[in-house]
Amino acid sequence: MNIGEFDRKHFSPVNGGITATVHALKYLAIPYILFTVGLMALAGLDGPQRVADLLREMQTLVLIFGIVLTALGFFKGAYPKGSYSRFLFGITASVLVIVYVFSLLLDGRTEEVIAREAFELDLYQIFVLFFFPALLAVLMQFGEFADHRRPFLEKEGTIAVKEREDPKDRRFYHDFRLRYGSLYNGLKLARSTLIGFVIIPLIIVILMKAGFSSLNVEEVDSMMSNLDDISAYMVMLGVPMAALAFFKGFYPKGSLSRSIPAVIMVLITLYWIWVIGLGGKFIFDSIEEISLELDFSKLLLLIMVGTALWIVYYVLELLLYRPEWKDAGFPKDLPEERKARKEAQRKAKEERKAAKEKAKEEKRAAKEEKKEAAEQPKPEAKKEE
Amino acid sequence: MLLRFCMKLPLVATRLIIVAFKLMVAAIVVLSILPLLTGGIGLDLEGEDDGEMTLEDSTIRVQMPITVRNDGFFDINDLQVSFIFMDENGTLLAESEGEQMDIPAGEETEVSIELALDLLDLDQQVRSDLIFNGTEMMFDAKISAKYTLDMVQLSVEAGGDMGWGPFINDLQVDEWNAQATAEGDDRFVSVPFSLRADEVFNGLQTMTVTEYRDENGYTSNVSQSVHLSQQVNEMAKIPLSQEAYDRLLNGTANATVRTTLYVLDCSTYDEGYLNLGGGGGGDPIWNLQLQMGSSNLQGMGGSYFVSIPFSFQTDPAYQGQLADAFVEYSDSHGFHTNVNQMVNLQENGWAEVQIWLSPEAYDTVYNGNEMVHVKVTMTYEHWTGISEQDYSEPWGVSP
């Protein structure tokens, strides 16, 4: 490891402060406030003591982990992307988040208290679900490091600036070259897709099943089996979608390699909506001699039409961003580089404008000079007469 | 900058359209669900009295008005309420399909559910069961409607069994109260009989035939027209020959009398043993009969009773003596009780026992249309007589 990257010259307290504030809000302030509100509500309602004790223990954990994560966030944010220093603090923080959440289970006591006060809920199952996106968050630190390492070193002057790619002999399938991709962006989008399409729906299913089981009513058995089927579909459709989301995020805007997975994702999303919407028909016939049929397929189709508009969006995105990407020499889609490109474009534009203005001025001056010269009498000629 | 924005304008526009779509769908869903959660949409059944059942010729008509409230944000369209009635085998008996109607948002509409069941369309056995014994009929109710700009269609089906009838019950020949009369040269035996009819059958004209038959093969009968009401008490005056009349009076007739009631091509009967003169062939007591038609329920400060009367006739030699009456009562829910009572023997004896009921047993017969079993056993020295009956009580219950 290059110790020099921990040097003060790379350190930006302002950037560190921003990241620390975000971490403090996320891991310290919001959970702490939530637990405090919970405790106040319990006190007001004369709630069970064991829940209050549990919340107090959790508050302590939030304080400990929240402060450590805020500190780690400060150091992570203070160092530039692509540096070992940022990578080290970043990866430590993301691993610590997993430990933080696991410690909130309090060795099974949280689950016990919920079981006593409400219904039996498998919190470890929910933790396993949480673990996958948390793991992707760890990998995102690797991705960020890999993506920004070269620009960081280029900026440091350690390596030569990469030359722009010549678009002459380029074919459309070259869009799939790995060097155009951003690991961080891919992992980030894969993670959010996994959360939205698999983790959250599965947690909702777990909560619903736990709630239904606590009712101890035979009538909900068929509904529970429907929920199992839906869970299976969520995994079967959500995991490929997360994989496609990786490629969509990985490749830059304007590339075919981004548009194709994006369009496939939209198509799978349409099917996902159809499945989670039970094909537009909800039939409840668990209660003897009563059946309820709700046909909302038209409403579902309306939702699907709205979602299908994303296909139009991604086609337009390909067409509109492609020239820009090509002009920039097929770079990675990194925020810093995008910012630098925009700045360069702005400067070039300003320079062009200034040159244009200057040329205009010169032209006008020349014209006026000519005019003045034409208006003045020619004394030499008179003399000659 | 402006040029760049203009270049990306189609993308921005597409995103805005997608957001607008999402907002629109979210608004539609919220506005659809909200009135359901807040009770803005609902069905109100009118007062109990408004659910009217009438009999026209042979057709039973049921009218039930329902008020549908729509305080939601969207119109309810094509609201339709339909009913199907079937017998136990699933054969369609009656069908009612309401007209489709629209209920604009913020209004309420009365939907009248009409059901017509022509009794003559029923199989004779089914009809007979329905009129005299009561029967279980299966029904299927279906409510369907469109909501949320016709994008959501709701259909609710409910099925079940429904007890119908009996519309006429408790036909009883009161032979213990029969009297032989002579009018000039004509001889008669007058036998009272009684029955109960449901309010729906009030005023319906029916026919009864009361037939007298003795052990010598003598028969005679009388037909009479009876207008049904909730309590019918009639007297059948059967002409007799002088010989038959004499046999009846001297106790050698061993006669039976049967009253048959004809309603809508169905019939039921009750019969009894007539012995006006010579007693019960040596028995101290004869003609022991439960009189469930005169039974009644009583609730007194949390205690519940059923009064069960029974009648009998006593040989003059034993009148004034005491006999033991043991009355047993049970219902279909497993409630079983009995009571023992001493009874004073009289010529035309009438006694009544009070049986304690549990609150559940009281509730069963008061609010449900349940069958109970009653048995009276009278014992006098070595003589024992039994009368028992399954009785579908009308106490506080309308069929």
Here the CATH number for the domain that contains residue B375 is: 2.60.40.10
Nearest chain B residue (CA) to A343: B1
Domain encompassing residue A159: 1-163
Looking at the complex, report in whole angstroms how far the Cα of residue A284 sits from the nearest Cα belonging to chain B: 9
The answer to whether position B380 is within a domain reads yes
My answer on whether A29 and A158 are in the same domain is yes
**SS3 for A217?**
coil
My answer on whether B292 and B374 are in the same domain is yes
How crowded is residue B276: how many other Cβ atoms within 10 Å of its Cβ? 19
B 156-215: CB under 8 A from A: 156-160
Nearest chain B residue (CA) to A287: B158
My answer on whether B72 and B153 are in the same domain is yes
How crowded is residue B227: how many other Cβ atoms within 10 Å of its Cβ? 13
Q: Do B11 and A316 touch (CB under 8 A)?
A: yes
Contact A271, A237 (CB under 8 A): yes
Nearest chain A residue (CA) to B29: A299
Confidence (pLDDT) at B397: 44
Confidence (pLDDT) at A247: 95
My answer on whether A68 and A131 are in the same domain is yes
The answer to whether position A168 is within a domain reads no
My answer on whether B55 and B99 are in the same domain is yes
Confidence (pLDDT) at A309: 92
Looking at the complex, report in whole angstroms how far the Cα of residue A295 sits from the nearest Cα belonging to chain B: 5
Nearest chain B residue (CA) to A342: B1
Confidence (pLDDT) at A2: 52
What amino acid is encoded at A183 in this protein? Answer: L
B21 Cβ under 8 Å from any chain A Cβ: yes
The answer to whether position B93 is within a domain reads yes
Q: Decide which of B146, B164, B182 is a domain's last residue.
A: B164
Q: Total structural domains in chain A? A: 3
Residues B387/B392/B393/B398 CA torsion (nearest 10 deg): -160
What amino acid is encoded at A75 in this protein? Answer: F
Confidence (pLDDT) at B1: 54
- Residue that is written with structure tokens 């990241």 in the block: A19
Over the stretch B162-197, which tens digit does the pLDDT of each residue have? 777 789 988 988 887 788 888 888 999 999 999 999
Chain A partners within 8 Å of B153 (Cβ): 294-296
Domain encompassing residue B358: 280-393
Q: Do A313 and B18 touch (CB under 8 A)?
A: yes
My answer on whether B147 and B222 are in the same domain is no
Please give the average per-residue pLDDT across B104-110, as a whole number. Answer: 85
pLDDT level of residue B396 (50, 70, 90 thresholds): low
Nearest chain B residue (CA) to A282: B154
Q: Do B157 and A293 touch (CB under 8 A)?
A: yes
Chain B partners within 8 Å of A316 (Cβ): 10-11, 14
For residues A88 and A77, what is the distance between their CA atoms, to the nearest angstrom?
A: 11
Confidence (pLDDT) at B399: 36
My answer on whether B84 and B125 are in the same domain is yes
Spatial CA neighbour of A283 closest among A272, A275, A295, A297: A295
More confident residue, A32 or B315: A32
Over the stretch B214-225, which tens digit does the pLDDT of each residue have? 988 999 999 999
Chain B partners within 8 Å of A289 (Cβ): 158-160
Q: Decide which of B278, B306, B336 is a domain's last residue.
A: B278
Q: Which residues contact A361 (CB under 8 A, 6 or more apart)?
A: none
Spatial CA neighbour of B308 closest among B381, B374, B251, B378: B374
* Interface mutation vs chain B, best among A258, A284, A286, A294, most B CBs within 10 Å: A294
My answer on whether A285 and A353 are in the same domain is no
Q: Total structural domains in chain B? A: 4
Q: Decide which of A115, A145, A163 is a domain's last residue.
A: A163
pLDDT means over runs of 10, chain A (385 residues) = 74 93 96 92 79 91 96 95 93 96 92 86 92 95 92 84 74 84 93 95 91 77 82 92 94 92 95 89 78 90 92 93 82 73 80 90 89 73 44
- The answer, yes or no, to whether residue B398 has pLDDT greater than 70, is no
Confidence (pLDDT) at B281: 55
Confidence (pLDDT) at A384: 44
Please give the average per-residue pLDDT across B81-101, as a whole number. Answer: 80
Spatial CA neighbour of B32 closest among B192, B202, B149: B149
The answer to whether position A65 is within a domain reads yes
| Structure tokens, B376 | 């009276």
The answer to whether position B218 is within a domain reads yes
Nearest chain B residue (CA) to A345: B1
Confidence (pLDDT) at B329: 92
Over the stretch B22-38, which tens digit does the pLDDT of each residue have? 899 899 988 888 887 88
B78 Cβ under 8 Å from any chain A Cβ: no
- Residue that is written with structure tokens 């959500």 in the block: A238
Average pLDDT in chain B: 84
Nearest to A289 among B22, B154, B158 (CB): B158
The answer to whether position B3 is within a domain reads no
Confidence (pLDDT) at A314: 94
Confidence (pLDDT) at B3: 58
My answer on whether B77 and B153 are in the same domain is yes
Please give the average per-residue pLDDT across B49-60, as a whole number. Answer: 77
My answer on whether A121 and A9 are in the same domain is yes
The answer to whether position A311 is within a domain reads yes
Q: Do A320 and B8 touch (CB under 8 A)?
A: yes
My answer on whether A326 and A231 are in the same domain is yes
How crowded is residue B88: how many other Cβ atoms within 10 Å of its Cβ? 12
Over the stretch B142-160, which tens digit does the pLDDT of each residue have? 888 998 888 889 898 888 8
Q: Do A316 and B15 touch (CB under 8 A)?
A: no
Looking at the complex, report in whole angstroms how far the Cα of residue B132 sits from the nearest Cα belonging to chain A: 28
B30 Cβ under 8 Å from any chain A Cβ: no
Chain A partners within 8 Å of B18 (Cβ): 306-307, 309-310, 313
- The answer, yes or no, to whether residue B21 has pLDDT greater than 70, is yes
Confidence (pLDDT) at B218: 94
Nearest chain B residue (CA) to A290: B158
B152 Cβ under 8 Å from any chain A Cβ: yes
Q: Decide which of B100, B132, B164 is a domain's last residue.
A: B164
